Each structure stands twice: as C-alpha cells, then as structure tokens.
Amino acid sequence: MSERADGASLEEIVARFGGKLVGDGSHRVVQVATLDQAGEDQIAFLSNPKYRKQLATTRAGAVILSASAAPDCPCPYIVSDNPYAYFARVADMLNPSIRHDSGIHPSAVVLPDLPTTVHVGALAFIDAEASVGADSIIGPGCIIGRGVRIGAGALLHSRVTVYPGCVIGRQAIVHSGAVIGADGFGMAREGDGSWTKIPQIGRVVIGDNVEIGANTTIDRGALGDSVIEDGVKLDNQIQIGHNVRIGAHTAMAGCVGVAGSARIGRRCTVGGGAIILGHIEIADDVNISAATLVTKSIAEPGTYTGAMPFEPHREWARNAARLRHLEDMADRIRVLEARLARLEKKP
Amino acid sequence: MSERADGASLEEIVARFGGKLVGDGSHRVVQVATLDQAGEDQIAFLSNPKYRKQLATTRAGAVILSASAAPDCPCPYIVSDNPYAYFARVADMLNPSIRHDSGIHPSAVVLPDLPTTVHVGALAFIDAEASVGADSIIGPGCIIGRGVRIGAGALLHSRVTVYPGCVIGRQAIVHSGAVIGADGFGMAREGDGSWTKIPQIGRVVIGDNVEIGANTTIDRGALGDSVIEDGVKLDNQIQIGHNVRIGAHTAMAGCVGVAGSARIGRRCTVGGGAIILGHIEIADDVNISAATLVTKSIAEPGTYTGAMPFEPHREWARNAARLRHLEDMADRIRVLEARLARLEKKP
Amino acid sequence: MSERADGASLEEIVARFGGKLVGDGSHRVVQVATLDQAGEDQIAFLSNPKYRKQLATTRAGAVILSASAAPDCPCPYIVSDNPYAYFARVADMLNPSIRHDSGIHPSAVVLPDLPTTVHVGALAFIDAEASVGADSIIGPGCIIGRGVRIGAGALLHSRVTVYPGCVIGRQAIVHSGAVIGADGFGMAREGDGSWTKIPQIGRVVIGDNVEIGANTTIDRGALGDSVIEDGVKLDNQIQIGHNVRIGAHTAMAGCVGVAGSARIGRRCTVGGGAIILGHIEIADDVNISAATLVTKSIAEPGTYTGAMPFEPHREWARNAARLRHLEDMADRIRVLEARLARLEKKP
C-alpha cells in the first residue's frame, strides 16, 4: 500500500463511514498511528481499555473511540460502536493499494487470453485454459496451473502456486509462497507396510474475500473438493488437509494444522499452532485456543483449550513426573477414603 | 491426473489386480467415488466398518469390499483382503497422470544435457552438472542446484528447490514449495552469546518412491548426509533437521518437526504436529500420535502419545491451575496416609 | 561450500585462531569430521563429554578439545576453552563459500543499478528502487520488492521473497522459500462476524549477521516495524508475526510461532515447535523448551517448559482422563484432611 498524499479531513471521514464527529471537521489527517505515537496529522484509535490512560496525553490529530471514552479526549474525536473496525476502514482509506499498471510483464509466460485490466508480474507462468478476472494482480513468480479460475479483483502476491483446476474467488488476497491444490495425503497401506498413493482428483474451491497467508498450504480433495468459504482469513504457515471445509468468516492464526475431512463451522477462531484432527466437525462460533489439539467434534459454541501450562523448568519437571502417576494418586485417594470411612464407623 | 475416458470393465480390473468378482464383469466404470455418492458408472469401496450401513443403499456400479461385507452388497462387487489398497490401485488405473510432452520449455534455463524424455516446465532453472533421469518431470519454476541427481520417473511439481549436491531417487513425487538441502541449523555459541555458523557439508539423499509434501523442508547434513529411505511419505510443512535418517515406508502427517540427528525406524507413522527431538532413536513400527513431543528414544514398537486433552476453557483453566500443584497434592496424600496409619494403629 | 583443496596445517590453524597446539604442527588436514569417522587428513573435536570414550580410538589427524581431555588424546591436538566454537571456525576455514561470478544472469529481471560485485541468479526479479550491497548474492528465482534494501555481503539462496520496503542487514543468509514482509494478520471484526483488513504499513527490518531458515516467514509491521536484531538465527518454518522484536543473538529452532507484538530479549533460545503468544515480553537470556506454549511475559532469565510428557498410549489415556478431574481430586484430598483432623481430635 502507499500513503494517500493529501490524506482526508475528519468531515470526509465521517461522511464516508458514519459516526459522530466532535471537534474541527476541517482538520486533515494523512496517516493512522497508535495513541502514543500519533502526531497532529495522524488519527489514532482507542479500543482496548488498557490503553485508555494514553488518551489524556495523546498528541494525535483525532481519535476514534467509543462514547464512554469521549469525555477524556483532548482532541477532536469520532465516536463509533466499534472503534477498531472503524479504524480499519480509515486505515484502508488512507493507504490505498499500490496501483499496478495493467498488462503482462514481457518476462511472464501467459498462455490464455486475459482481460486487459489484469496485471501479471515478471517471470510468472499462467498455463492454458486458466482464467483471471478483471482487475486482478498476479505477482511475480506465480505459477497458475491449467484450468485454474481466479475471480475479479484478486491479488496474488509473488511466488504463489495454484495447482490445475482450482478455483479462487473474487477479491481474494494470497500471500507469497502459498500453495493451493497440492495432493492430499491419501495412501492405502499394503500388507508389507508400504503405501500405495490414491490419486487426488478433487479441487480446492475458495470463496470471495478470502485472505491466505504466506507459505500456507491447502490440499485438493481426494474425491470431491476442499472448500474455503467466503471471508475466511488464514494466517501464515497453515496446513489444510484434503476435503476440509472451513465455514464463512472463520479466522485461523499462524501454524495451525487441519487434517483431512474436518468440517469447521462459520465465524470460528483458531489460535496459533492448534491442530485439528481429521473427520471431526466443529460447530459455528467455536473458539479454539492456541496450541490446542482438537481430537473430537465440538457441537456447542464456546472457547476450548488444551495446552499444558508452562513453568520454570525445575517445577515443570517435578509436576510432569507426577503426571505419569495420576492414576496411582487417584487410587491412593480412593483407598484413603475407604480406610477413613471404616475408622469413622468405629464407636 | 485426468480421468481415463473409456474407463475399465470389472473384468479388466480383476484381470489386472486379482480379487474375486461377483456380478456382471462387462460392466464399465469410469471413476472412483464414495459409497454414498457413487453412481452407476463409478466404483466405490467399503473399508471402514462405520460406513457399512451405506452399503445397502449405494447406487455404485460396483463396490470393492471384504468377504464379510459381501452378503449385504446390492450390486456387483470385488472381494479383496485389503479393500482400501485395492481401491487405491483402481483409482490410479482410472486416473492416469497427465502426460507432459517431453522437452524443455523455451523460458527455462537448463545448463546440463538431459534425456530427451524429460519435461522441464516454464521458468525452471537447472544448474550445471545436475542430472535428471528418463521420463522425469521438472515443474515450472523449479530450481535444481549444481550437481543434483534426480532419478528416472520423478515428478517435481512447480517451485521446488533442490540445493546443490542432493540426490532424489526414482519415481519420487515432490510438491510445490518443498526445499531439499538447505543448511542445517548448526552453530557454536561463543562466550559473548553470539553464534558461529558451522558449514553444512553433507547432502540430502532421498530414496525411491518417496513423496514429499508442499512446503516441506529437509536440511542437508552437517557432516555426513540426511537420509530419507525408500517409500517414505511426508505430508506438507514438515521440517526435517540435519543428519536425520527416516526408515523405509515411514509416513508423517503435516506440520511434524524432526530435530537434527534423530533416527526414525521403518514403517513408523507420525501424527500431525508432533515434534521429535534431536539425537534420539525410534524403533521400527512405532506410531507417534498427533501433537506429541518425543523427548527420548523409543525402543519398543507401539503407539505413544503425549497431548494434553482439550476441554471447555473454564474447566481447562481449573484443571490447568491444579497441574502446577501436583507435587503438593502428592505430598498431601502421603501425609494423609501416614496420619491415617497412626490412627488405625490406635486401639 | 566447497572443500579447500590443499587444507591447512595445524600450525596455520593455531596461527589464525589461537589455542595451544600439542604435536606435529606441520600435519595437514583437509576436512572436519566426527571423532569416530575422522581419518588421518581430518580434524575432529570433543565437546560433549558423552563422546569422550571415542577419543582413545580416534584415527583423526588432530582433535580440538579442552585441557581436561588432553591426557587421553592419541594424536596431535589443539586445546581450546570452547572446542565447539573453535571447531566451527576451522570448519569454516576448510569449507569456504563457493564463489559466484559477479554479474546478472541474462534471464533475471533487474530494474535498479547494482554494484558490479553483486551476483544475481537465473530468473530472479529485483524491482525498482531496490538496493543491494557489494558482494551480495541474490539466488535464482528470488523476488525482491520495490525499495527493498539489502546490505553488503548478503546471501539469499534461491526463491526468497522480500516484500516492498523491507530492509536486510549485512552478511545476512536467507534460505530458500523464506518470505520477508508479507502482511501481518491484522483485522477488525465487524458486528456480523466478518473481518475488515487493516493495512499493514510497517516494514520488516533485519540486522546484520542474521540467518533465516527455509520457508520461514516474517510479517511486516501493522504500524511501525517488525525488528530482527543483529546476529539472530532462525531455523526453518518459523512464523514471526507483525511488530515482533527479537533481541540480538537469539536463536530459534524449527517450527516456532511468535504472535504479533511479542518482544523477545537478547541471547534467548527457543526450542522447536514452541508457540509464543502476542503482546508479551520475554527477558534476555531466557530459554524456552521445545513445544512449550508461552502464554504470559517472562521477567527472569532461566529455562521454561510446558510440554506434556509422552507415554505408551494406554497409560497416557488413563492419566489423561484423570487430568480432567484434578479439581475433583483436590477436593477429595481437602475433605479427607478435614475428616481426618476431626477424627484425630477425638479422645
């Protein structure tokens, strides 16, 4: 993105995004910043209460905040029910995407005809029968397989691979190193312990407004498709197995692994490093905490956690040794209870 | 892969793969499918007993199953001791690999002479002194380093990197984004806390019939080689450290990490997200469960597990707090036992 | 690297790196090796006491060791306080980096002027306004974004991506598939559960002498920069979130994830597969064990651990079931204590 040179006045901002403006509407801001670092020509926001004490001393040109924080604000402000989302929209307004000239770099190898508004970067390869929607950007070094379909307004950063036949929706953003549509891990075990590969004949089908992080991998279906619904956001280095379905607007942090045929609901969040086993179902609106291993289906919304707490190593070692003897501890408690009961019955 | 247009008759299938056919051998199938989705011109399989109830209502043209399930089958069937492996072979027969025309794309940069049957995709680079076996496919955007040796019939999908001097066996499949032969993480610590790099002068040597997933990384040896034996199957985003040896036909699911100099036996399986520490040995036929941390050698075959069970967050928080006090709980049990013994001795 | 054809005499080695030499200083060694595998023309080292018993039978031409081990050494040796670091320096001397001819491969697309001593590999792309310091190597297939600055003597292996505006210091080594500067995972949640992207307008700024492993990803800052200080060493497949700061000489093993805005001190070590949550601070000289989830700040140096011990699956299953009832076990102990106290008070 690049900064919008002339910025915007507070009046322009509320005209576009709503909210109640208090203060000089003609004041111009050119960039967003944090409360403690913003200057006169920048706009900050207050969302997390723990930063509220920074409000009194901010030198921001304006602040986006909720009604309850307004009394403390020393400068012009915009009141919003959701200051963070409002801030996101203002940040986007002030930092428009860099315009790429449309056209195909002479070093790219592009076999199909593309709309004239598409930009293809240096040394990219687009195979036969692929289609790319209007205004899309295919970054340098991307490899787009035969028959792939990419929607309008998509942005593939450099070095993205899309295997043959996969589908990416409109306004998708895919970061560098992502691999869409590699074979799922499908093999049958022979009697001698060796493995016979099962051809992976499904596709990956990705909806609209999906963002996929750097070096994330999404495998094609074995039979049938792997499906990423609209608005899903995947961070970096996530692995999605074959025939997984991820519901709309679910977001996953980095390093998550989802095994084959798992079905994850809508509006879920999955913390970094969590592992979700295969063939399970997770309901809508479930939050999985970081580093949690999900071993069975979850039918109810809510937050689920499974990580071992960390400690100084010496204390951990003592407690971890006990962990192997919980069954024994439970037995000893049972025996104590029985013995005590006998004793209590004595006259 | 691409569907074989005319499919195969059931007679042709059993002539090729064996098994007992019951029903009309002239019936043709063109594709594989699941029991619940297969139609008249598709062949399904029944392996997992939990899908047995789908057998009675399947509309498949034929089913591959074990003898015990045969009585319930409403359509022609093939009896096999290992229906899933049989299915894999039929799926492969019906979905032959796409034929790439041999030859080097004009945009590729290829320094050595290659057999005429090799296909090199667009914008690939093959450095001097590398060799590629007959009938191999080097996908678009691959970078093959100096002196690399790749066996016959290998398939490197797009954007694979092989560092100089590494060796890949015959019939290997390597997926996009994989990096074979980067430096191992070898450094010596200086007195001031800084690190001095140790040159990594070994190679990666990969056997025949190995499959390596997307964005998986296998480091070259520090001294001596990292070795992946025949028939090993690695899923996506696996990290294999320097001087690791993985025994034949071992399979690892996504996101596994194996630290340097670990030696893993034959026919092992490692679940997703497991971490195996360095310098340990794991026997043949060991199964490591998902998300397990393996901290010491395993000498006996069997299944090993170490993950913390997940729970609704509130319950987890209560139990996790207790985890830090197991030593204390054990002490209190010991004290109770002593006090109770004293009391029991009283007349 | 490539072996130095004529090797070095032991005299040359101590002249360059210090240490006390005992034995024939004119003896030449051409390569480093382990104690058990070294031959007459190789030099080995002894650092880990568990290999001391190999010393008596080594056939190495010389050994680097500490004073205490010297009496057992059957061959010439060099005494050092830190044999492993000394070995690293000798290994580096005997295995100098391969010299790349400077110049730009004709298939590369390079928009800015570069120093004549820079090497740019085949099919690399360097966008406008980027700068590359003297003697740097940009490997085949790298994508260097607009305005990137790379210091002198840097080595980018093949297929590295650096997003626009990021900075990499001198003598950096970056391995294949690494992605520097992709967007951080910053989104605001709307009332309907959908996400609005927050433009990520910061950079990644990487110091001198940093090494970054294969397929590692470091996200650009949201506001302000993500900072990797001098001498940091990152292994493969690490994910660093936006606005993270990693202190000088900290080293992280493979598969680590660090969430946004975490601040990690100097000279820390982080074991493989550990996950560090966002917005926390870790002091200097902290060691995090493998697979540990760090959920809160750590103010004191030391080693911290949080992994669940692994066991044969059946024993794990019994103990894991108990884990869900620790609170209940604690309650029962409390009750036993109360009942026992009552009983003990009885006359």
Segment 41-80 of chain B within 8 Å of chain A by CB: none
Active-site entry in C157, C242, C279, C325: C242
Which residues of C are less than 8 Å from B307 in CB distance? 308, 320
Classify residue C23 as exposed, middle or buried by CB count within 10 Å of its CB (0-12, 13-18, 19+).
middle
Residue C2 pLDDT? 53
Instruction: List CB contacts (< 8 A) between A189 and chain B.
Output: 82, 84-85
Nearest CA in chain C to B302: C312
Chain C residue with Cα closest to A347: C346
Task: Mention every residue, 6+ apart, whose C-beta is less than 8 A from residue A176.
Answer: A139, A157, A158, A159, A160, A214, A215, C143, C161, C163, C179, C182
The Cα A23–Cα B208 span in angstroms is 72
Indicate whether A168 pLDDT > 80: yes
Distance from CA of B272 to the nearest CA of C (A): 12
Per-residue confidence band for A2, with pLDDT thresholds at 50, 70 and 90: low
User: Who among C143, C177, C306 is closest to A310 (CB)?
Assistant: C306
pLDDT digits (tens, 9 = 90+) for B229-267: 999 999 999 999 999 999 999 999 999 999 999 999 999
Q: Is B40 on the interface with A (CB under 8 A)?
A: no
pLDDT of residue C167: 98
Tell whether B330 is within 8 A of chain C (Cβ). Answer: no
Non-local (6+) Cβ contacts of C53 within 8 A are: none
Interface test with A, best of B30, B45, B236, B342 (most A CBs within 10 A): B236
Contacts (Cβ under 8 Å, ≥6 apart) of B345 = none
Of A191, A241, A323, the CB nearest to B254: A241
Distance CA A277, CA A168 (A): 25
C128 φ/ψ angles, rounded to the nearest 5 degrees: -60, 150
d(CA A322, nearest CA chain B) in Å: 6
Q: What is the predicted pLDDT for the residue at A5? A: 65
pLDDT exceeds cutoff 90 at B16: yes
What average pLDDT does the segment A241-252 reach?
98
Instruction: For residue C45, give the amino acid letter.
Output: F
Two structure tokens written together for C69: 């081990």
Q: Which amino acid is at C160?
A: V
By the 8 A CB rule, do B76 and B55 touch?
no
* Neighbouring C-beta atoms of residue A59, cutoff 10 Å: 15
Average pLDDT over residues B184-205: 96
Binned at pLDDT 50, 70 and 90, residue A97 comes out as confident
B285 backbone φψ class: left, alpha, beta (φ>0; ψ -120 to 50)? left
Closest residue in C to A88 (Cα) is: C198
Best CA proximity match to C194, nearest among A263, A204, A93, A269: A269
Ordered DSSP codes for B223-254? SS-EEE-TT-EE-TT-EE-TT-EE-TT-EE-T
Tell whether the model's pLDDT for residue B1 goes beyond 60.
no
Side chain identity, residue A237: Q
Of the partner residues A237, A307, A339, the one whose CB lies closest to the CB of residue B308: A307
Cβ-count burial of A314 within 10 angstroms (0-12 exposed, 13-18 middle, 19+ buried)? exposed
Is-contact B8 B63, C-beta < 8 A?
A: no
Chain A residues in contact with C182 by the CB 8 A cut-off are 157, 175-176, 213-214, 236
Q: How far apart are CA B287 and CA B284, in angstroms?
A: 9
Handedness of CA C281, A293, B272, C180 (dihedral sign): negative
pLDDT > 70 fraction of chain A, expressed in percent and rounded: 98
3-state secondary structure chain C: CCCCCCCEEHHHHHHHHCCEEECCCCCEECEECCCCCCCCCEEEECCCHHHHHHCCCCCCCEEEECHHHHHHCCCCEEECCCHHHHHHHHHHHHCCCCCCCCEECCCCEECCCCCCCCEECCCCEECCCCEECCCCEECCCCEECCCCEECCCCEECCCCEECCCCEECCCCEECCCCEEEECCCCEEECCCCCEEECCCCCCEEECCCCEECCCCEEECCCCCCEEECCCCEECCCCEECCCCEECCCCEECCCCEECCCCEECCCCEECCCCEECCCCEECCCEEECCCCEECCCECCCEEEECCCCCEEHHHHHHHHHHHCCHHHHHHHHHHHHHHHHHHHHCC
User: Are C7 and C41 spatial neighbours (Cβ–Cβ below 8 Å)?
Assistant: yes
In whole angstroms, what is the distance from residue C16 CA to residue B285 CA?
50
For the annotated catalytic residues of B, the residue numbers are 242
With tokens 């002030």, the residue in question is A94
Whether A82 contacts chain C with CB within 8 A: yes
Q: Looking at chain B from residue 225 to 254, which residues have their Cβ under 8 Å from any Cβ of chain C? A: 237, 239, 241
Does the distance separating the beta carbons of A88 and C196 come in below 8 Å?
A: yes
Name which of C91, C176, C343 is nearest B179 (Cβ-Cβ).
C176
Domain ranges of chain A: 8-94, 103-304, 313-345
Q: What is the per-residue pLDDT for A325?
A: 87
* From A246-255, B34-43, B93-102, the region with the lowest mean pLDDT: B93-102
Same topology between domain B8-94 and domain B103-304: no
Question: What is residue A1's predicted lDDT score, i.e. its pLDDT?
Answer: 47
> Is C97 within 8 Å of chain A by CB?
no
Closest-CA residue of C relative to A231 is C194
Residues A70, A73, A78, A82: is their CA dihedral positive or negative? Answer: negative
The DSSP call for residue B298 is B
- C317/B305 CB distance under 8 A: yes
The confidence score (pLDDT) of residue A3 equals: 61
Exposed e or buried b for every residue in B214-223, given b needs 16+ CB within 10 A? Answer: bbbbbbbbbb
Q: What are the chain B neighbours of C88 within 8 Å (beta carbons)?
A: 187-188, 196-198
Interval B253-305: pLDDT, tens? 999 999 999 999 999 999 999 999 999 999 999 999 999 999 999 999 999 99
Identify the CATH homologous superfamily for domain A8-94.
MurE/MurF, N-terminal domain (3.40.1390.10)
Q: Does A171 touch chain B (CB under 8 A)?
A: no
Cβ contacts (< 8 Å) between B323 and chain C: which residues?
323, 326
More confident residue, A281 or B347: A281
- Give the H or E element holding residue B64: strand B62-65
Backbone phi and psi for residue A189, each to the nearest 5 degrees, phi listed first: -90, 130
Q: How far apart are CA C150 and CA C167, in angstroms?
A: 6
Which range (A62-66, B95-99, C195-199) has the least confidence?
A: B95-99
**CA atoms of B73 and B63, how far apart (whole Å):** 8
- Compute the distance between CA of residue C92 and CA of residue C213 in angstroms, rounded to an integer: 19
Query: Subunits that touch chain B (at least 3 Cβ pairs < 8 angstroms)?
Result: A, C
Pick the residue of A308, A335, A344, A346 with the most C CBs within 10 A to test the interface with C by mutation: A308
- Enter the tokens of residue B85: 């492996």
Residue A295 has its nearest CB partner, among B310, B320, B324, at B310
Helix/strand number for chain A, H first, E second: 4, 39
Contact at 8 Å (CB) between C134 and C116? no
Query: Which chain C residues contact residue A329 at CB under 8 A?
Result: 322, 329
Alpha carbon C201 to its chain centroid, in Å, reads: 27
What residues of chain C score a pLDDT lower than 50? 1
Contact B132, B162 (CB under 8 A): no
> Which tops the pLDDT comparison, A138 or B324?
A138
State pLDDT tens for residues B42-58.
Answer: 999 999 888 999 999 99
Of B33, B98, B327, the CB nearest to A322: B327
CA–CA dist B187, C213 (Å, integer): 13
Sort out which chain C residues have CB atoms less than 8 A from A249's CB and list them: 192-195
Q: Do A319 and B316 touch (CB under 8 A)?
A: no
A88 touches chain C (CB under 8 A): yes
pLDDT, position C324: 85
d(CA A162, CA A172): 13
pLDDT category at B324 given cuts 50, 70, 90 is confident
> From the CA of A77, how many Å to the nearest CA of chain B?
37
A19 in C contact zone (CB under 8 Å): no
pLDDT of residue A346: 80
| Residue (of C250, C243, C258, C239) closest to C286 by Cα position | C250
Give the gap in angstroms from C-alpha B14 to the nearest C-alpha of chain C: 40
Tokens 């080693």 locate to: C303
Element (H, E) at B174: strand B173-174
Please tell me the predicted confidence (pLDDT) of residue B2. Answer: 53
Per the listing, tokens 């015959």 go with B170
Summarize the confidence of residues A5-34 as an average pLDDT: 94
Residue C5 confidence (pLDDT): 65
End-to-end Cα spacing for chain A: 84
C177-226 pLDDT, tens digit per residue, is 999 999 999 999 999 999 999 999 999 999 999 999 999 999 999 989 99
Q: Which residues contact C71 (CB under 8 A, 6 or more apart)?
A: none
Distance from CA of A274 to the nearest CA of C (A): 10
pLDDT at B5 over 90: no
Tell the CATH superfamily of the A103-304 domain.
Answer: Hexapeptide repeat proteins (2.160.10.10)
Q: Which subunits have 3 or more CB–CB pairs within 8 Å of chain C?
A: A, B
Collect all residues with Cβ–Cβ distance below 8 Å to A192 and sequence separation of at least 6. B249
State phi, psi for A340 to the nearest 5 degrees. -65, -40
- With CA atoms as reference, the chain C residue closest to B275 would be C273
Phi, psi of A43 (to 5 degrees): -115, 130
Q: For residue A213, give both structure tokens.
A: 């992080």
Nearest Cβ partner of A332 from B158, B173, B337? B337
Residue C1: its pLDDT value, please?
47
Q: State the DSSP H helix or E strand holding residue B212, giving kind and residue range, or none if neither.
A: strand B211-212
Q: Residue A262 and residue A244: Cα distance in Å, rounded?
A: 5
